[in-house]
């Protein structure tokens, strides 16, 4: 790791940045697992947003059809 870090006592994969005081996890596989979870969650959120948009479009179309049917009576 960079020379501006110190090992965190009791944790093999953690170091503290001396300048910013931030704790940094140096375990690459944990980081990669975390990023996969983040991307999966974002993908799920995108899918939900798409479904909500589609439902709202269908509701509007149904409203328009009902309005047209009432006009025809």
Task: Tell me the pLDDT tens digit for each residue of 5-63.
Answer: 999 999 999 999 999 999 999 999 999 999 999 999 999 999 999 999 999 999 999 99
* Domain ranges, residue 24: 5-72
> What are the backbone angles phi and psi of residue 15, rounded to the nearest 5°?
-130, 155
Residues 14 and 20 sit within 8 Å (Cβ to Cβ): no
**What is the three-class DSSP state of 6?**
strand
- Taking the whole predicted model, whether its pTM rises above 0.85 is answered as no
Q: What total number of domains does the chain contain?
A: 1
Select the more confidently predicted residue: 1 or 16: 16
Q: Could you tell me the CA-to-CA distances from 18 to 12, 14, 15, 57 in Å, in that order? A: 17, 13, 9, 54
Whole-angstrom distance, CA of residue 52 vs CA of residue 45: 11
């Amino acid at each position: 790791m960079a020379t501006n870090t110190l090992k965190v006592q009791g944790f093999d994969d953690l170091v503290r940045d001396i300048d910013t005081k931030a704790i940094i996890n140096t375990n690459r596989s944990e980081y990669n697992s975390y990023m996969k979870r983040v991307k999966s969650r974002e993908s799920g959120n995108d899918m939900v947003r798409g479904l909500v948009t589609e439902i709202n479009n269908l509701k509007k179309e149904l409203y328009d059809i009902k309005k047209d049917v009432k006009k025809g009576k």
